[in-house]
Structure 1
Amino acid sequence: MSHPFRIPVKLPSSATCRSAGVYTSGALFSLGFWFFVDAAVYSKVANPGDVHIKFPEWIPLICSVLGMLIINSIEKSRLMADSFSYSGGDVAWKAKLVLFMGFAMLAGGLAGSVCFLILGYIVPEYPWPTLYFGVANVIANSLIMLSCVSLWLSQNIEEDYTYNLSL
Structure 2
Amino acid sequence: MSDRVFRCRGCCSLGDKGRLLGVYAAGALFAIAWWLFIDGLCTSESGLAGIEDWAGGIAATFGMIVINLIDKETLRGTDYDDRVPWRARLFLFFGFAFMAGGFAGSVAVLVVKYATKMDPVPYLGITDVAQTSLVMISTAVLWLSQSSEEAHFIL
TM-score, length basis structure 2: 0.84
Amino acid at match of 2:107: V
Q: Secondary structure at the match of 1:124?
A: coil
Please identify the structure whose Cα radius of gyration is greater. Answer: 1
Is residue 2:94 matched to residue 1:101?
yes
What is the rounded CA distance, in whole Å, between the counterparts of 1:12 and 1:159 in structure 2? 7
User: In structure 2, do the counterparts of structure 1 residues 70 and 12 end up closer, same or farther at CA, with 3 Å as the change threshold?
Assistant: closer
Divergent runs of 4+, >2 A: 82-85
Confirm whether residue 26 of structure 1 aligns to residue 27 of structure 2.
Answer: yes
Runs of 5+ consecutive residues of structure 2 not aligned to the other structure: 1-11
Q: Quote the Cα distance in structure 2 between the aligned partners of 1:56 and 1:113.
A: 8
Give the whole-Å Cα distance in 2 for the aligned partners of 1:125 and 1:30.
Answer: 31
* Within-5 A mapping of 1:56-135: 56-85=52-81, 90-128=83-121, 131-135=122-126
Which of residues 158, 161, 166 in structure 1 aligns to 2:149? Answer: 158
Show CA shifts across 1:4-31 (max 9, x none): xxxxxxx985111101110100010000
Identity among equivalent positions (%) equals 38
> How far, CA to CA, are the matches of 2:110 and 2:47 in structure 1?
13
Q: TM-score, normalised by structure 1?
A: 0.78
Q: Deviations over 1:53-84 (max 9, x none)?
A: 11221011110000000000012111002434
Structure 1 unmatched runs, 5+: 1-10, 163-167
Query: Would the aligned equivalents of 2:23 and 2:142 in 1 still touch at CA under 8 Å?
Result: yes
Q: How far off is 1:127 after superposition?
A: 1.2
